[in-house]
């Protein structure tokens, strides 16, 4: 099971990274906190202090077009906020 799907790089997460040493990731829905902690430590070589997780359900969306209403649903996902030990950092932009 691939636990870490992608990092969250938004203005809000960048602000938390600068102030609180927190990083956000979209993770596999069935991954628990211990698996997420281990995956981050192995992938980035850092020490994780805490892991907080949130589950988001898919939202119903509708769009009005010339031919009628199109209905759909966004995907459900799980988000993890990782707090690192003082002094450790993750650089998402090093591979660009």
Q: Mean pLDDT of residues grouped by 10 in the chain (96 residues)?
A: 90 93 95 96 94 95 93 96 93 74
What's the confidence (pLDDT) of residue 1? 63
Strand boundaries in 11-47, DSSP class E: 22-27
* Confidence (pTM): 0.85
All structural domains of the chain: 4-84 (3.30.70.330)
Residues 6 or more apart whose CB falls under 8 angstroms from that of 59 comprise: 73, 74
Q: Mapping DSSP to helix (H, G, I), strand (E, B) and coil, where does residue 51 land?
A: strand
What's the confidence (pLDDT) of residue 94? 73
What's the confidence (pLDDT) of residue 48? 96
Only one residue has tokens 């070589």, namely 45
What's the confidence (pLDDT) of residue 96? 63
């Amino acid at each position: 099971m691939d636990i870490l799907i992608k990092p969250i790089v938004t203005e809000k997460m960048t602000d938390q990274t600068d102030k609180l040493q927190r990083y956000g990731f979209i993770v596999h829905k069935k991954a628990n906190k211990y698996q997420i902690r281990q995956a981050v430590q192995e992938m980035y070589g850092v020490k994780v202090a805490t892991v907080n997780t949130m589950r988001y359900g898919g939202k119903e969306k509708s769009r009005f077009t010339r031919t009628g209403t199109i209905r759909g649903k966004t995907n459900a996902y799980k988000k993890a906020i990782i707090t690192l030990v003082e002094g450790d950092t993750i650089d998402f932009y090093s591979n660009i």
